[in-house]
Every structure is written in structure tokens, then in C-alpha cells.
Amino acid sequence: MKATPTALPDVLIIEPKVFGDARGFFYESFNQAQFNEATGAGHQFVQDNHSRSSKGVLRGLHYQIQQPQGKLVRVVRGAVFDVAVDIRRSSSTFGQWVGAELSEDNCRQLWIPTGFAHGFLVLSDTADCLYKTTGYYAPMHERCIAWNDADIGIEWPLGSLPPVLSAKDQAGVAFIDADVFA
């Protein structure tokens, strides 16, 4: 496994060793010991999630203000533009974002630790995202920052089409008004 820091050093691109030939491929999608070595911590995952979305669907920017979740995200069908936003007020990168394309072809994963908001835009006709979380889903603590907040300034690769948003994501709050971490 190769772990590469992004512009937000706590957010890592994880690239497994993929063994392929004419028959297909094989890779370990998760190895606890290697993950702990790469992230420098003993994270414990408690929940696995699977979402399927159509082209143009934008989910996020989501986080839980209490019972926060670290997320290890990968795509097993299609492609997404995956984004993490630092919402730790004490961080030198507070309010900054990083994005990476995750796809079934590149087999990359994105490690998003607690203290970050997360979202993604589906680039392919459909995409299946799988993500492990370090905390259980707690809807009463879930928050949503507006995907298009000008203070954050995420450069979503939308082209000329508007994103497809859920009611929850349409109601996302401005970053300046959001509950954030200390």
C-alpha cells in the first residue's frame, strides 16, 4: 500500500498494490496493519457503507459534529470527484479543501480523518462508493455545509450542468454559519 499526503496533510490518498493479468486483477482493499502504519494511528472502523448514485449527483458536504467519523472512501463502480474540507478551527488549513478522482480503474482510496467535511460528485453514468467509518452514523449530530460555499470555493468538475442534490444537501448552511470542530 502506498499512502500519499494531499495538500491537506492529514488527508491521504491510499493506493493498494494491484496485481493484474489477462484474467483480471486482485488487490487487498484494506489491511489494518498497513493502514495503521500509513496513517500513524490505530483507527478502528465500526461501520461499512455503500452508496450508488447517478451521473451528476453531488452528495455533501457532510460530517457529524458529535460522534465524528473518519472515512476511508473507495469506488468499485464508476468514478467520482471526492472532496474533504478541513473544519478544525485550530488547524492551519481550516476552511481549505482537497479533491481527488476515485474510480474503479485507479483503485485509489481517500482517507478523511475526523474533523473534515466530506462530499463527492459522480462523474460516470453511475458510481458505487464504499466507505468504512470510525464512528457510527448518528443523524442527530449530522451537519451539512453548502456544496457551493464561496468561502470554501471547491472547484467541482461540473461542466455546464447543475448538480443533482438531495433536499438535505440543498439546505446546506454557509461555512461561516456551520458548526465546526475546535
Give the pairing of strands 116-122 and 109-112: unpaired
Active-site annotation holder among 43, 63, 131, 137: 131
Phi then psi dihedrals of residue 175, to 5 deg:
-55, -40
Write a three-state SS string for the chain: CEEEECCCCCCEEEECCCEEECCEEECCCCCHHHHHHHHCCCCCCCEEEEEEEECCEEEEEEEECCCCCCEEEEEEECEEEEEEEECECCCCCCCCEEEEEEECCCCCEEEECCCEEEEEEECCCEEEEEEEECCCCCHHHEEEECCCCCCCCCCCCCCCCCCECCHHHHCCECHHHCCCEC
Is 131 annotated as catalytic? yes
Is 141 annotated as catalytic? no
Active-site annotation holder among 62, 63, 118, 141: 62
Cell of 163: 448538480
CA gap 18, 1 in Å, rounded: 9
Known catalytic residues? 62, 131
